[in-house]
Amino acid sequence: MKRAGPVPKPGGPEEHEAVVPDGERVFIGLGANLGDARTAVAQALDALAALPQTRLVAVSRLYRSAPVDAQGPDFVNAVAELRTGLTPRDLLSALQAIEHAHGRERPHRNAPRTLDLDLLLYGQRVVEEPGLALPHPRLHERAFVLLPLAELAPELEHPRLGPLAAFRERVAAQPIQALA
C-alpha cells in the first residue's frame, strides 16, 4: 500500500482516467479493531480502488488509536482520498457493501468492528438525510480522522466549520500513533 501519495489503478492510469476524468473529491475514513485489522484496511483500499466511476488518489499512513466513546481493542485507521462520479448515496451504499463483505455487524452503537468505512467529506456538499450526513458529523472531533486527513490535504476546509487544521489542537490528547 502506498502511503500519502498517488495510488496506481489496475489497468493503468490512462485507462482509468478515461472512465473518471474528473469527479468529486471525496475522503473516506477506514478503521478496524477486530481480527487482522491491517489486512482488513488494505483489502478495503483495494475494494475502494475497484469501485465504478471512482479513482483512488491517495492514502494516509496507518494509525493506531484507542476507541472513542467505546470499549474494545485499539483501531487501525487511515484516510483515503477518492475522485468519484458516484452520488453520495450510491457511494455510501458501496461502502456499506464493502463493510458487509468483511463481516461488519452493527449490534450496537460504537461496537467493535471488523471494518468501518465512513464517508467523511464529499466535496463541499452538506447533506442531512435519513442515513446520510455530510460532512461526517464528528470528523472534527476525532484525531484518527484529522491527522490522516492533514497528511493528504493540510489545507482542507469543512463546508460549515472552516479550516480543519484549527481543530487538530482540540484532539491532541486523544491517543493515536502512526504505524510503521
pLDDT at 113: 84
Q: Answer yes or no: 104 catalytic.
A: yes
- Point out which residues pair with 56 in neighbouring strands: 82
Helix, strand, or coil (residue 116): strand
Q: Is 90 a catalytic residue?
A: no
For position 108, what pLDDT does the model report?
60
Candidate list 25, 38, 61, 118, residue with the active-site label: 118
pLDDT, residue 111, reads 63
Stretch 41-48: mean pLDDT, rounded? 97
Q: Choosing from 83, 113, 125, 170, which is the catalytic residue?
A: 113
pLDDT band at 79 (very low <50, low <70, confident <90, very high): very high
Residue with cell 477486530: 34
Active site residue 69: no
Catalytic entry in 116, 125, 168, 170: 116
Reply yes or no on whether the pLDDT at 11 is more than 60.
Answer: no
Nearest to 76 by CA among 85, 84, 67: 67
Name residue 65's amino acid.
S
**pLDDT at residue number 153:** 97
**pTM metric for this prediction:** 0.87
> In which band, very low, low, confident or very high, does the pLDDT at 21 lie, cut at 50, 70 and 90?
low
Q: Which of 81, 92, 3 is nearest to 49 (CA)?
A: 81
Active site annotation includes 168: no
Each residue of 12-38: b (16+ CB within 10 Å) or e? eeeebeeebeebbbbbbbbbbbbeebe
Q: Percent of the chain scored above 70 by pLDDT? A: 84
Kindly report, residue by residue over 129-157, the tens digit of the pLDDT.
999 999 999 999 999 999 999 999 999 99
Give residue 106's pLDDT: 66
**DSSP string for residues in 20-56:** -SS-EEEEEEEEE-SSSHHHHHHHHHHHHHTSTTEEE
Residue 87 pLDDT more than 80? Answer: yes
Residue 78's pLDDT is what? 98
